[in-house]
A and B are shown apart, each in its own frame.
Chain A
Amino acid sequence: MRNECVDGNEAAASVAYALSELVTLYPITPSSPMGELADAWASTGQTNLWGMVPRVVEMQSEGGAAGALHGALQTGALATTFTSSQGLLLMLPNMFKIAGELTSAVIHVAARSLATHALSIFGDHSDVMAARTTGFAMLASSSVQEAQDLALVAHLATMQTRVPFLHFFDGFRTSHELNQVAMLEQDDLRALVDDAGVLAHRERGLTPQRPVLRGSAQNPDVFFQSREAANPFYDAVPAAVQDAMDRLAERCGRAYRLVEYSGHPEADRVIVIMGSGAGAVQETVEELNRRGQRVGVLTVRLYRPFPAAELVAALPLSVSKIAVLDRTKEPGAYGEPLFLDVVATLAEASTNGLRGSAAMPRVTGGRYGLSSKEFTPAMVKGVFDELGSEAPLPRFTVGIVDDVTNLSVRPDRDFELPIPKGDVRAVFYGLGSDGTVGANKNTVKIVSEHSDLHAQGYFVYDSKKAGAMTVSHLRFSRLPIRSTYLIDQADLVACHHFGFLFTQDVLAVAKPGATLLLNAPYPPEEVWDVLPEKVQRAIIDKKLKVHVIDARRVAGDLGLRGRINTVMQPCFFALSGILPQEEALDAVRRAVEKTYGRRGPKVVERNLAAVDASLAELHELTVPATVTSTTPLRDAIPTAAPDFVTRVTARILAGEGDLLPVSALPVDGTFPTGTTRYEKRALAQEIPIWDPDICIDCGKCAIVCPHNAMGMKVFPPDVLDGAPDTFASKGFKSRELDTPHLLSIQVSPDDCTGCGVCVEQCPAISKSAVGHKSINMEPISEHRDDERANYAFFDTIPLLDRELLPHDTVKGSQVLQPLFEFSSACEGCGETPYLRLISQLFGDRMIVANATGCSSIYGGNLPTTPWSRNADGRGPAWSNSLFEDNAEFGLGMRLGKDRGAATARALVSTLSDAIGPELARELLDADQSAEEGVRAQRERVVRLRERLGELESDSTARHLLSLADDLVRSDVWIIGGDGWAYDIGYGGLDHVLASGENVNVLVLDTEVYSNTGGQASKATPRGAVAKFATSGKSTPKKDLGALAMQYGNVYVAQIALGANEVQTVRALQEAAAWPGPSLVLAYSTCIAHGIDMKYSMTHMRDAVKSGHWPLYRFAPGSDEHTKPFRLDSRKPALAFKEFALAEARFAMLERSDPERAHHLMALAQADVDERWHYYEQLAGIERSVPHDPGEIVDPEGVATEEVPS
């Protein structure tokens, strides 16, 4: 038996892969790694049980994956897929078909919340519960081991029964938990898989040799009977599943039951639960029984068909009270699904005498763990306590404080499980990119492999893309680890990023006497003095042993910039004592060789040097007896923040979101905008400092800033009164301004991420030293205080009147107020500058429909949003529906606003006399094609409101008042990435573009699925390596713009901000101005391209110069003999290869398969040449939009005469 440390995704995928011929896929968190593993295994030629390499196919959506799965199954292929959440919902129609046709198949699901009032990527059962009517059997795994074993049971049982299976386990808690698993070997699979089932499945496949019709349409006469005809197959499932489990037990020694009871044999109270929560309940039950209580837990593994008889049989007759815990919520239901099933089962059993003389137990139903909410022994104890009360709550929640409907039971905060002797628990706080999580994964594996200890690793991430915090929870024990919750009493706390000590209560998890390992950028003797007061106090009070190391320096000295993992890992082993030190270090060295071996000797050498250097640099701190520091923790937000931000946002930022009661949260998922400005993250080590002497007033630094941390303001000289001495400004050159004005370029030091994009883009270079520009990155330590004061002053400078400078230039656009600011996107993100720009140009009249993806995460993931508002309170209104339907969602917004406007206009006509005929006419005739017109109309609406206020008693007036704002132009912007626009949302996008409606579509084209980790999309260029295109994408990038242009009446532009800012500004303005649909494709650099992101913008120049991304605008119009297609970039002057090989996504293939790389590169060059040739011809084509022919169409839209041809 081979033990390995794997996570739930790998455990399940390993079985699914071995037992499949075809894997259809679409990435979705948290199941993506299953597909990625399958893809990786296939790309290395790993074979399935029958000696073939399964085909792994990425589809355009989960709907597509399910359709392809269905088709493959119908031909008799063994096929599987992996999904979660919305993805599962998109599979439902096919799942009904697959089940209805009694087709053997397994879908593995890392169960995740469904988006309701908000999207959540975390784990619960709301997705799988939505699939319970499909006819799929449902099997739940509650641990990483089970994720493997029950995956096999599902595959075995579906072959046996013909009923398809949905095998699920909890997203993140199980899918991403590392734990020791006794791995199934090929021999085990071979012994357990019955080829007869496989052959029978194949036999049922469609073939012209034995033609049949499957998937008929049926009428009232027979449909019903047909549905019932399948009953015997379902009746056979429980026994077949148990049989598979038994055979597994016989072979491997791990025994499972459909419904498994553990606990006191004469329990009075029992919890019924499904999924990972069972681990926490089992631990608690054991402890409570040790303490003399009589409690038990019933773990449900087979959920559909519901094993009623087995449940009744498993439940001790002594039980009088049961709490059924559901990890889902069905608003309005009498109870959640598992609860209802248990109640019905027991009621029937009691009625039928199946439980003898035992009385029907009192059954309550509780919800827990939605969206991976913690579920701990203290909570389990609370549930048992509640059950023990005289009148337990019939419906309850646990894990939150519900102060609105008062449904929550109180956890027993004093309840703690004893920690087995010798157990070690460690919590690590790391910075996203520092390698902490990777090293900890490695540690868990090392301990598993090198000792008889069990090890568990679980990792908590925040959703920020730049400067994210990771928290690793590692447990080591002589006993198998079932604890499915975070560590709150750690023997060792490691803080890998010193800054966290000032913002987070890092030591809260440290148990008294614990060890604190601190990565501190100071010499050991200076560390104590720089600690905040609260940290010093905790160290003294808890008697912590403190060890410090300047890992960043050690790593930096060895050329491992920023990656402190190999320095910190030996320190952990030295301090934790889990393994003998030398043995541990040897293991770390071997792991380094294994991990980095393929990267070449230099990389191994440096990492080994880091291992060797680390312990010499580790110093124990002598802890003084008293607190000496007066440094407070840094406030999460400034004191002067709006009430909601102070009350709610600040607590989420401080990591206390779990403590917020139900009443603190909006009931409908609606939040205030403009909240990132209250979150000062202070990530940058270096910030851009402006040298006004050589500035040329171009505004490029501001327009390319991904985080709105470079501001540009133009103002009259008297504004400088009271400015800090260090505040810089210079005369502003402008033809448009009559009076002298000054210009200031100012960094916000606490919002800058230090990406350096502005410096790279700055064209102003010193005459005397080429290394010096008008903006230069300098250490923040030298500038922080000055620049904070300068920025505070800058923030108070009044904005220049929007009418004073034209908006179609770079600097003209950059003095406009950004209403998208300080996003948490990756450092140097290529997407966010576009959003900032459209918010400057149109922000006060924008409604945004945002597809799920990076832009919805940095745009709308709590706690804060960068979408903001101006002094008048106007700004972009933002919403995210789903990934797949964004175009339709935006179209709906357009139609809704148009409907409102039409109604308002009709009411203005009706009320013309009361309003005043002149105002009414002005309102109706307003030209709002330009911003001045919009502003004038807003002023009219103010007057309208005043008049209407006087007519309050009139119901028509009240209606008009509620719609008055719709008389003002609003622009709908439909925003999303290429995954949405090219793939999953393309059908909808196409329809919306064809609708002729006035919507603006902005595609932030990173040419890959960025948010889910770099999977290929149809926007991925030929030759680029991506997940699901590991050998380089073999087909060219889809030309979405060309497809849209075919409609003739769609404005289409292709832009690249870093390559041509003015073309970008103009294209966006033209798109907004075009009264029909507009599509703007924006080239967006991304870390998934494998470039240094400080070149994020400058690299775009090469994308354009090479012809990979030609700039163009297709501006349809009704004039005849016009040529609407205009190429805005020059003929390619750089070989595609020159551009491409500067990016790792292309260069990687040169290393792994040079021959194929050369082949694809040649084809990619041909793609570029061919497209350019095509575009050049397009530029010469005359085309006009057929326009309103005039009187021949009557006002109702019905033609009264024939239109002359």
Chain B
Amino acid sequence: MTAEPTVVPEFDLSTTYLGLQLRSPLVASSGPLTARIDSLRALEQAGVAAVVLPSLFEEQIEHEDIQAARLGDLGSDSNPEATSYFPDLADYESVVDRYLRHVEEAKKALSIPVVASLNGETAGGWVRYARQLELAGADAIELNLYGIAADLDVTGREVEEDQVELVALIKASLSIPLAVKIGPHYSALGNQATRIIDAGADGLVLFNRFYQPDIDPKTRKVAPTLELSSSSELRLPLRWTAILSGRVEASLAVTTGVHTGADVARCLLAGADVAMMTSALLVNGPGHVAAVERELVEWAAESGFESVTQLKGSVSQRNVADPSAFERANYMSTLIGFTNSFH
């Protein structure tokens, strides 16, 4: 059951993110809860101000659609008794179709802004899908810059250049705001952040929480892991938010490690426009948004703050604790992945 958000008229929760007017700084980051319409509704009902849908992964599109095509071909027209082994499903949706439909349905179901998230692989893919997401009705797009520079010949500079070019390319094809979710691993994060913003990003989301595979000593196999974030992970984005706040012309969002009203307060104090939550909502349910809001409001009241605007960035710059790692909720959804490849 979702609790009604506590309304404390004295405290003005409203904020602006990517040029979008939000009723509060509480945003649901991309994750399983934003993958379903019923939980999206529950989030809205609990008071969330905007939602970021799960990422559309270009490699997932490739993997799944190619596999599905292989499947359709599997054994077909090779035997006199069986022209195929599977029925032709007319309603079958490709990964993109399904995602676009999700964007459309989310827009229909919600009155709060819907941010679509995109994780591309090729320049052509990024631009094509970004445009399709816009056409499907997304209010903004969050680019999920995710890449492990495993190629030993590629320099950090090259990686950074590619990102900047990509952002410019996508921005040029869109008329809705563009947020860029980056990781914390740059030699000079501040400079790269600036260049991304200069290339056209309307906001930065700090940070991408990289998927870190583990090794199971028992089976000696590489094991995918998914650990939920904790409040302690908030410190890394706090530092960078604080550094960037007021010095860049872009919205700032903190994601990873936001669990409580106090966490949100810390984000805002560091200079974030919004605080995004995933793990806390997964653990506590969508209704947790209301609890966090209540905590924030109570804290603000106790501290004598009147509005989020007043709060924002008041403890920005050079006033940050030590960093740690951050969240990445759902790398390719295993729930819907064909885990096999077909001959």
Seen from chain A, the residues whose Cβ lies within 8 Å of a Cβ on chain B are: 29-30, 32-33, 36, 39-40, 43-44, 121-122, 172, 431-433, 435-438, 441, 459, 461, 463, 465, 468, 470, 559, 561-563, 596, 598-603, 606, 765, 770, 826-827, 857, 1010-1014, 1025-1027, 1030, 1087-1088, 1090-1093, 1095, 1141-1142, 1144-1145, 1147-1148, 1150-1154
Of A44, A431, A438, A603, most B-chain CB atoms within 10 Å:
A603
**A525 nearest CB across to chain B (Å):** 31
Whether B169 sits at the interface, judged by CB under 8 Å, is no
A1152 near B80: Cβ-Cβ < 8 Å:
no
Cα(A44)–Cα(B89), bound, Å: 9
Cα(A1011)–Cα(B337), bound, Å: 28
Whether B76 sits at the interface, judged by CB under 8 Å, is yes
Cα(A858)–Cα(B71), bound, Å: 23
B78 near A470: Cβ-Cβ < 8 Å:
yes
**In the complex, what residues of A have CB within 8 A of residue B168's CB?**
none
Among candidates A39, A431, A463, residue contacting B79 with C-beta atoms closer than 8 Å: A463
If A599-B72, A606-B66 touch, whether A43 touches B96 (CB-CB below 8 Å) is no
Whether B145 sits at the interface, judged by CB under 8 Å, is no
**B332 nearest CB across to chain A (Å):** 13
- 26 A-B residue contacts at CB 8 Å? A40-B88, A172-B80, A432-B78, A433-B75, A435-B73, A438-B76, A599-B65, A600-B68, A600-B97, A602-B65, A603-B66, A606-B66, A1013-B82, A1014-B84, A1087-B74, A1092-B340, A1092-B342, A1093-B343, A1144-B67, A1145-B86, A1147-B336, A1150-B336, A1151-B92, A1151-B98, A1152-B90, A1152-B91
Q: In chain B, what residue has the closest Cβ to A440?
A: B77
A1014 near B335: Cβ-Cβ < 8 Å:
no
**B300 nearest CB across to chain A (Å):** 40
Cα(A172)–Cα(B79), bound, Å: 12
Could you tell me which residues of chain B, from 79 to 129, have a CB within 8 Å of some CB in chain A?
79-98, 128
Among candidates A459, A602, A1153, residue contacting B62 with C-beta atoms closer than 8 Å: A602
**In the complex, what residues of A have CB within 8 A of residue B84's CB?**
1013-1014
Binding site secondary structure of chain A? mixed
Cα(A765)–Cα(B221), bound, Å: 11
Q: In chain B, what residue has the closest Cβ to A468?
A: B78
**A9 nearest CB across to chain B (Å):** 10
Cα(A433)–Cα(B77), bound, Å: 7
Cα(A1026)–Cα(B91), bound, Å: 14
**A873 nearest CB across to chain B (Å):** 33
B69 near A603: Cβ-Cβ < 8 Å:
yes
Among candidates A431, A1030, A1153, residue contacting B87 with C-beta atoms closer than 8 Å: A1030
Cα(A121)–Cα(B338), bound, Å: 35
**In the complex, what residues of A have CB within 8 A of residue B69's CB?**
596, 599-600, 603
Whether B61 sits at the interface, judged by CB under 8 Å, is yes
Cα(A1195)–Cα(B61), bound, Å: 75
A770 near B74: Cβ-Cβ < 8 Å:
no
B65 near A1088: Cβ-Cβ < 8 Å:
no
B87 near A40: Cβ-Cβ < 8 Å:
yes
**A33 nearest CB across to chain B (Å):** 6
**In the complex, what residues of A have CB within 8 A of residue B73's CB?**
433, 435, 438, 563
**A563 nearest CB across to chain B (Å):** 6
Cα(A1153)–Cα(B101), bound, Å: 13
Whether B339 sits at the interface, judged by CB under 8 Å, is yes
**In the complex, what residues of A have CB within 8 A of residue B221's CB?**
770
B87 near A1012: Cβ-Cβ < 8 Å:
no
Cα(A857)–Cα(B128), bound, Å: 48
B90 near A44: Cβ-Cβ < 8 Å:
yes
Cα(A432)–Cα(B75), bound, Å: 7
- Number of A-B pairs whose CB atoms are under 8 Å? 173
Of B75, B84, B88, most A-chain CB atoms within 10 Å:
B75
B343 near A1092: Cβ-Cβ < 8 Å:
yes
**In the complex, what residues of B have CB within 8 A of residue A1148's CB?**
68, 71, 86, 89, 92
If A606-B66, A1151-B89 touch, whether A600 touches B78 (CB-CB below 8 Å) is no
Known: A121-B80, A826-B75, A1087-B85. 11 other contacts (CB 8 A): A40-B87, A438-B76, A468-B79, A602-B66, A603-B66, A770-B221, A827-B343, A1025-B86, A1026-B87, A1093-B343, A1151-B336
Q: In chain A, what residue has the closest Cβ to B343?
A: A562
**In the complex, what residues of A have CB within 8 A of residue B82's CB?**
32, 1011-1014
Cα(A1000)–Cα(B332), bound, Å: 47
**In the complex, what residues of A have CB within 8 A of residue B91's CB?**
1152-1153
**B224 nearest CB across to chain A (Å):** 13
**What are the 9 closest A-B residue pairs judged by CB atoms, nearest first?**
A432-B78, A1013-B82, A600-B94, A600-B65, A437-B77, A1152-B91, A1014-B85, A461-B80, A599-B69
**In the complex, what residues of A have CB within 8 A of residue B220's CB?**
765, 770
A441 near B86: Cβ-Cβ < 8 Å:
no
**B98 nearest CB across to chain A (Å):** 7
If A437-B77, A438-B76 touch, whether A1090 touches B71 (CB-CB below 8 Å) is yes
**In the complex, what residues of A have CB within 8 A of residue B90's CB?**
40, 43-44, 1152
**B269 nearest CB across to chain A (Å):** 41
**In the complex, what residues of B have CB within 8 A of residue A441's CB?**
77
**In the complex, what residues of B have CB within 8 A of residue A1088's CB?**
75, 85-86
Whether B341 sits at the interface, judged by CB under 8 Å, is yes
Q: In chain B, what residue has the closest Cβ to A439?
A: B77
Cα(A897)–Cα(B244), bound, Å: 90
A36 near B79: Cβ-Cβ < 8 Å:
no
B335 near A1141: Cβ-Cβ < 8 Å:
yes
**In the complex, what residues of B have CB within 8 A of residue A599's CB?**
65, 68-69, 72, 94
Q: In chain A, what residue has the closest Cβ to B342?
A: A1092
**In the complex, what residues of A have CB within 8 A of residue B64's CB?**
600
B95 near A600: Cβ-Cβ < 8 Å:
yes
**A426 nearest CB across to chain B (Å):** 17
A601 near B85: Cβ-Cβ < 8 Å:
no
Cα(A601)–Cα(B93), bound, Å: 12
B338 near A39: Cβ-Cβ < 8 Å:
no
If A438-B73, A827-B343 touch, whether A601 touches B61 (CB-CB below 8 Å) is yes
Q: In chain B, what residue has the closest Cβ to A597?
A: B94
Q: In chain B, what residue has the closest Cβ to A1026?
A: B87
**B29 nearest CB across to chain A (Å):** 22
Of B73, B84, B85, B96, most A-chain CB atoms within 10 Å:
B85
A1152 near B93: Cβ-Cβ < 8 Å:
yes
**In the complex, what residues of B have CB within 8 A of residue A172's CB?**
80
Cα(A470)–Cα(B97), bound, Å: 35
Cα(A1030)–Cα(B343), bound, Å: 23
Cα(A1154)–Cα(B89), bound, Å: 13
A1011 near B65: Cβ-Cβ < 8 Å:
no
B87 near A39: Cβ-Cβ < 8 Å:
yes
Among candidates A562, A770, A1144, residue contacting B338 with C-beta atoms closer than 8 Å: A1144
B78 near A1152: Cβ-Cβ < 8 Å:
no
Could you tell me which residues of chain B, from 120 to 148, have a CB within 8 Å of some CB in chain A?
128
Q: In chain B, what residue has the closest Cβ to A43?
A: B90
Cα(A765)–Cα(B218), bound, Å: 12
**In the complex, what residues of B have CB within 8 A of residue A857's CB?**
81
**In the complex, what residues of B have CB within 8 A of residue A765's CB?**
220
Among candidates A433, A602, A1030, A1153, residue contacting B78 with C-beta atoms closer than 8 Å: A433
**In the complex, what residues of A have CB within 8 A of residue B97's CB?**
600
Cα(A39)–Cα(B73), bound, Å: 19
B78 near A437: Cβ-Cβ < 8 Å:
yes
Cα(A122)–Cα(B342), bound, Å: 30
Q: In chain B, what residue has the closest Cβ to A9?
A: B83
If A459-B77, A1025-B87 touch, whether A602 touches B61 (CB-CB below 8 Å) is yes
Of A441, A461, A1010, A1147, most B-chain CB atoms within 10 Å:
A1147
If A603-B65, A1152-B93 touch, whether A463 touches B80 (CB-CB below 8 Å) is yes
**A776 nearest CB across to chain B (Å):** 16
**A518 nearest CB across to chain B (Å):** 21
**In the complex, what residues of B have CB within 8 A of residue A561's CB?**
70, 343
A598 near B343: Cβ-Cβ < 8 Å:
no
Could you tell me which residues of chain B, from 218 to 261, have a CB within 8 Å of some CB in chain A?
220-221
Cα(A431)–Cα(B76), bound, Å: 11
**In the complex, what residues of B have CB within 8 A of residue A30's CB?**
80-81
B81 near A1087: Cβ-Cβ < 8 Å:
no
